[in-house]
Amino acid sequence: MNRQILRLAIPNIISNVTVPLLGLVDLAVLGHLESEVYIGAIALGGVLFNFLYWGFGFLRMGTSGFTAQAFGQHNLSEAVHTLVRALLVAGLGGFFIILVKSPIGWIAFNLLEGNRDVTFLAKQYYSIRVFAAPATLGLYALTGWFIGMQNAKAPMIIAIVANLVNVGMDFFFVFVLGMKSDGVALGTVIAQYTGLIIALVILFRYYRRLFKYFIRQIAFKATAFGSFFSVNANILIRTLFLIFVFSFFTSKSAAQNDRMLAVNTLLLQFLMVFSYFTDGFAYAAEALTGKYIGSKNPARLHQTIRLLFRWGLGITIPFTMAYAIMGTSILNILTNNQEVIDSCRPYFFWVLLLPLAGFPSYLWDGIYIGATAGRGLRNTMLLSTMVVFLPVWFLTRSSMGNHGLWLALTLFLVARGLSQWIAARRAVYAKANR
């Protein structure tokens, strides 16, 4: 079983790590320019794209869960139909975002708290990057499908190539052509369409034979879409609340001042890097949980979950140690602004707490997604946000300031993992016995 977990987890870790590394490159490129406002610009622009793209995260997660269960049942027809439905939704969603990009931008930048210079650059970043929407959503659907089919190598190849293209474009547009945050945005657009092309090539090269199982009347059946959207609606609500928490965190950082926005943005990258490592095992959890629920194998399901948490703890400890030893060195790589680095130091101990607080919820996410337990994901997220995160922030904002913001985020992660563990018997384990 450990071999199965690692076969899925290691390629996913490699592909996932390219995502935060890309974010770190974006920050490092802009962090070495003459002003900290460029870091703030992509932070605020990133908040908006979190709402747009993470809101469609159900395309990856729901597709993965449904496909993995179809794979466990040896139902190749349903696996193909799941992909077709997901790609249809991705295409329509991507073009709709472009169609309404202006009102979305107007609403978002009136809600986000940032000064005039940061907001101007963030709008410029948004107006370019938004054209990657169809490619980004299409990649969500294809990546989720590959994972559900127990293929972790395809997403790895796609992510590595796309992100290498993005890094190359960053350096070319910023350091050769003299562009700023707009160059970073344009590089992202080119990279996303590159990734989509690669994903489609892999699909038709290795899975073309499966499309003989495609039946249009079944694929577009209203009841099938009803089931697809029923589960994914709950995943969407869960994702929107997760986006809200991190957007709230960024917005309240910006409301303090530009310096604190830069500080919290940089420190949050440590959590993001760790989360993408842990998500490698969460993606393995999606594939294996769905497979064993589909094949009605509760013994394998229990064994898989136990081993996943051992692996999760096994990567949490070295990450915490590495951050404790090399934290300042990493900050020096991200920016040469010594005042920002000095301002990070009083808050760095939160970075050391976040991996232990967060890894259980990341793994449970993968398990719940594989079980297509959307209601459980939704309810535990609502509880953690409304009963823990927001009350802690409002109770500590005056007395603890920025520390209160970090305390709220840490307790939010703990609450998610604990509530998911409590709800798992009914939401996850029971499904393998039905």
Higher pLDDT, 76 or 434: 76
Q: How far apart (Å, rounded) are the C-alpha atoms in residues 143 and 138?
A: 9
Residue 26 is predicted with a pLDDT of 65
Comparing 2 with 290, the larger pLDDT belongs to 290
- Taking Cα atoms as reference points, which of 160, 345, 346, 351 lies closest to residue 274? 351
Total number of domains constituting the chain: 1
Helices 402-427 and 222-256, axial angle in degrees (round to 10): 160
**Is residue 64 scored above 90 in pLDDT?**
yes
Tokens for 109, please give them. Answer: 């930048």
Two tokens, residue 133: 């929407």
pLDDT at 274 over 70: yes
The predicted-structure confidence for 314-330, as pLDDT tens digits, reads as follows: 999 999 999 999 888 88
Q: Rounded CA gap, 149 and 75, in Å?
A: 11
- Domain assignment of residue 424, given as a range: 2-433
The pLDDT confidence band at residue 313, using thresholds 50, 70 and 90, is very high
What's the mean pLDDT in 22-29?
65
User: pLDDT at residue 51 above 80?
Assistant: no
Per-chain mean pLDDT for the chain? 87
Provide the pLDDT for residue 356: 95
How many whole angstroms separate alpha carbon 400 and alpha carbon 252?
A: 13
pLDDT higher than threshold 80 for residue 36: no
Mean pLDDT of 375-396: 96
Q: How much is the pLDDT for 344? A: 87
According to the model, what pLDDT value does residue 420 have?
A: 97
Q: Report DSSP letters for 63-90, one per residue.
A: HHHHHHHHHHTT-HHHHHHHHHHHHHHH
Residue found by looking up tokens 């350096």 in the block: 171
Q: Can you tell me the distance from the alpha carbon of 143 to that of 151, in angstroms, rounded to the nearest whole number?
A: 9
Q: Say how far residue 194 (Cα) sits from the centre of its chain.
A: 20
Does 232 have pLDDT greater than 60? Answer: yes
d(CA 252, CA 405): 8
pLDDT confidence tier of residue 7, bands split at 50, 70 and 90: confident
pLDDT at position 23: 60
What's this model's pTM, rounded to 2 decimal places? 0.82
Following CA atoms 195, 30, 240, 357 in sequence, which dihedral angle do they give, to the nearest 10 degrees? 100
- Give the model's pLDDT for residue 277: 86
Is the pLDDT at 334 greater than 80, yes or no? no
8 A C-beta contact, residue 273 and residue 288: no
139 close to 83: Cβ distance less than 8 angstroms: no
19-50 residues labelled b (16+ CB within 10 A) or e (exposed): bbbbbbbbbbbbbebeebbbbbbbbbbbbbbb
Res 198 pLDDT > 90: yes
What is the pLDDT at residue 243?
Answer: 82
> What pLDDT does residue 341 have?
85
Q: What's the one-letter identity of residue 39? A: I
